[in-house]
Amino acid sequence: MDKKQRHAAILSIIMENEVETQQELQILLKQAGIRITQATISRDMRELKISKGMSENGVNCYFSAAAGRTPKYNSLFSQAVLSLDYAMNTVVIKCRAGLANAACAVLDEQDFGFVVGTIAGDDTIFVLTRTENHAVQLIELLKKMMKKN
Query: Tell me, what's the pLDDT at 50?
Result: 84
CA distance 48 to 84: 33
Buried b (16+ CB within 10 A) or exposed e, 72-103: bbbebbbebbeebebeebebebebeeebbebb
Query: Tell me, what's the pLDDT at 42?
Result: 92
Query: Tell me, what's the pLDDT at 95?
Result: 95
| Full set of structural domains in the chain with CATH | 3-67 (1.10.10.10), 73-147 (3.30.1360.40)
The whole-model pTM stands at 0.53
Q: What are phi and psi of 42, to 5 degrees?
A: -60, -45
pLDDT tens per residue, the chain (149 residues)? 788 899 999 988 988 888 989 999 999 999 999 999 999 999 998 888 887 776 666 677 887 765 555 555 556 788 889 999 999 999 999 999 999 998 898 888 777 889 999 999 999 999 999 999 999 999 988 887 777 54
CA distance 142 to 43: 31
By 3-state DSSP, what share of the chain in percent is helix, strand and coil, each rounded to 5?
50, 25, 30
